[in-house]
A = this chain, B = another copy of it.
Amino acid sequence: MTASTGPSHGSRGGRRSAASVPDLVARAREGDARAVARLISLVEDESPLLREVMTALAPFTGHAQIVGITGSPGVGKSTSTNALVAELRGAGRRVGVLAVDPSSPFSGGALLGDRVRMQDHATDRDVYIRSMASRGHLGGLAWTTPQALRVLDAAGCDVVLIETVGVGQSEVEIAGLADTTLVLMAPGMGDGIQAAKAGILEIGDVYVVNKADRDGVDQVRRELRSMLAMGERRDGRWKPPIVTTVAVEARGLDEVVAEIHRHRAWLVESGELDVRRARRARDEIEAIAMTALRARWGDLHGHASLDGLAASVADGTSDPYSAADELVAAISA
């Protein structure tokens, strides 16, 4: 089994073979990486088969712990993800990695060279690695990532890591998708007070100060600790730990894994796991329903079409509320 790195490309997914959905799902459940890759391609290609795929996968989902990894550019997310995969594999866990690129014409090209490091794990039967290009249509991440997670979950992964490449708009979305969110920081990046502004202090379940062999680690820890003490967390009970690592030397990752386990235990005990998963399912249902409604809006003709309404708002002859009323009335009719 070889892991699938590089993002899939549009035309590849839907047509290549005639394998039936039940067949693909059965093979994915048995650990066939090519079947897993095909199923994720169906997600990325928004295949009409997706509906059938998701129905077939549903009974097998809910096992994997979804771990989001985020942080500013340069803190060492890829290196940390790589080291974390090694650590989890050492503990015998089956691991999936979804590397999510913000929508960019550059993604998939030479700039993703550091993805290659992931090939450390490319020959490991129990690691699935996948770069996903969020292509921006249909809500990007909101649409494809949860479904790709379902595939990896149903394929028997114990842990699925979602790594964002860069900070970008995906940070908060990732936190919404994950059971456990790791926020990475590093000394000397002006991360302290800026981090507070970027809102990442409310999304982290575990804070990782990477590059701990550099000057300034203590200061980052101190600032982080005092800022975490100031903030009211949405869940109000879990106290996010701060772990230090040197990911490039694989130092401290055992502690990160221990905190991930501890957080999982807390999620189950506190009932928060069910809360987060129900919220995630709600978002996913909404995203799909919204897409169905958008398609209807596209089908409307004349003045009530979304484009027609937008033109009248843009030129000041209508306002967005009146236009929204017309739109809602038109689809409900």
Q: Footprint of B on A, CB under 8 Å?
A: 50-51, 54-55, 57-62, 72-74, 101-107, 109, 111-112, 146-147, 165-173, 189-191, 193-199, 201-202, 227, 230-233, 274, 277-282, 284-286, 288-290, 292-294, 297, 306-307, 309-311, 313-325, 327-328, 331-332
Contact = CB atoms under 8 A, between A and B. Distances in A.
Interface of A is mostly: helix
A111 B293 contact: no
Contact of A74 (B106, B190, B315, B328): B190
Contact of A327 (B103, B190, B285): B285
A331 to B, nearest CB: 7
B286 A318 contact: no
A231 B99 CA distance: 21
Contacts of A331: 332
Most chain-B Cβ atoms within 10 A of its Cβ — which of A190, A293, A306? A293
Contacts of A166: 194, 197-199
A187 to B, nearest CB: 13
A82 to B, nearest CB: 16
